[in-house]
Amino acid sequence: MVTQMKHLISGLALAAAFALGDLPLATAADQTARTVLTIRPIHAERQTWTDSVAAGGWVAAWSEASIATEIGDYRIEDLAVDVGDSVRKGDVVARLADDQLRAAVAAGEAALDSARAAYELAQSDARRAELLGPSGGQSKRELEAALIAERVAAANVAAAEAELETRRLRLAKATLVAPDDGVISARPAVLGAVASAGTELYRLVRQNRVEWRAEVAADAAARLTRGMAATLTENGISLSIGVVRLVGPTLNAASGRATVYVDLPATGELRPGAYFAGHIDTGQQEVLTLPESAVLLKDGTSFVFALDPKGTVKRLSVTTGARHDGRIAVVSGLSPDVAVAESGVAFLFDGAAVAIAAEEVKP
């Protein structure tokens, strides 16, 4: 107890001496000399990495088709498919009520029969007039009239045929078919509604193909070309690999980024409307790398701490690039023959005294 009291009194006296200026304060150099951290030296390692461009965007249909009515004011009688159904080109997807159209076709057929009968009669009259001629009591004018009547009857037959074909085409348009293979993505039609011409009944994702409309930085777009591989990820896990089909020729006015169109496999797993991050591989290159633990990021600048022969460290500003498997690419500012601190960089500063570990960490 007596000993503890002596230490306490001694400490208080020493503190008072500092406060009164009787003892000199320790200099920064003294403090640096006392701050000795043990670090492991490491050299940057050259590795071959696959270079890539970060991207993010929405999955969308590669191409859509609208299945709409071409004739108007007919009731929707049947809707044969629904959202999510797969269809083949030519499959019937909907029907309109066609009673009036069938009646019109029947009337057209009757009109054509009548026109053909009239044409046959006109032909007969014209042949008789030609045979009789002037000797048979037929005047030249009567002969010309018979020939003209034949031509008029022939024209009436052609007009009746055209009208019948038009009515048959309208009847055929009452049955709506898929214009391509694909999957129904929307069905705005309502059974029993009277549809006007141009009313969309279905929307179709053509060939069930989807694409990733990924946005990339404007300067990175120049490095991308058709055929490059693109990977979509979710929570760091690769979900799908596609192929670049097109690099947009213009930039988004709002974001200043370029859009890259990536074809995705038609597996049905990636649905339009989903957002994914990912990257596009641009090739392989050799890079100088360090463990991420060796790089200090402060105020937007990256630093490493190089070892000095005097037992201190020197802070170096470096430019960093991509990260991969716990390592970071050093683009500039560091030579491969310079040893740097492997970890603990958050506790180091320029000129800090350090102790070197017995064995260097080999890259």
Same domain, 199 and 216: no
On whether both 151 and 268 belong to a single domain, the answer is no
Residue 46's pLDDT band, with cuts at 50, 70 and 90, is very high
What's the pTM?
A: 0.61
Is 15 within a domain? no
Can you tell me the mean pLDDT for 278-288?
Answer: 89
Query: What CATH number has the domain bearing residue 193?
Result: 2.40.50.100
- Average pLDDT of the chain is 86
> Do 347 and 302 sit in the same domain of this protein?
yes
Q: What is the dihedral of CA 204, 209, 214, 219, to 10 degrees?
A: -120
Q: Residue 138: its pLDDT value, please? A: 62
- Per-residue tokens: 93: 């997807």
The tokens describing 237, both together, are 């896990």
Decide: 217 and 259 in contact? Cβ < 8 Å: no
Q: CATH no. for residue 169?
A: 1.10.287
CATH number at residue 235: 2.40.30.170
User: Which residue has 């694909």 as its token pair?
Assistant: 182
Question: What average pLDDT does the segment 205-221 reach?
Answer: 92
Q: What is the CATH number of the domain that holds 314?
A: 2.40.420.20
Sequence-distant (6+) residues with CB within 8 A of 120 are none
Cα distances (angstroms) measured from residue 25 to each of 15, 174, 275: 11, 99, 61
- The CA-atom distances, in angstroms, between 34 and each of 21, 26, 37, 307, 309 are 22, 11, 10, 18, 18
Assess whether 249 and 351 both reside in one domain. no
**What's the rounded mean pLDDT across residues 26-34?**
45
The token pair at 274 is 């989903």
pLDDT bracket for residue 359 (50, 70, 90): low
Tokens 């797969």 correspond to 86
State the total domains in the chain: 4
**Which of 21-25, 38-42, 233-237 is the most confident on average?**
38-42
Per the structure, the complete domain to which residue 124 belongs is given by 99-173
Residue 326, in any domain of the structure: yes
pLDDT digits 0-9 by tens, 183-201: 999 999 999 999 999 999 9
Nearest partner of 211 among 279, 280, 282, 271, judged by Cα: 271
Pair 68, 108 in one domain? no
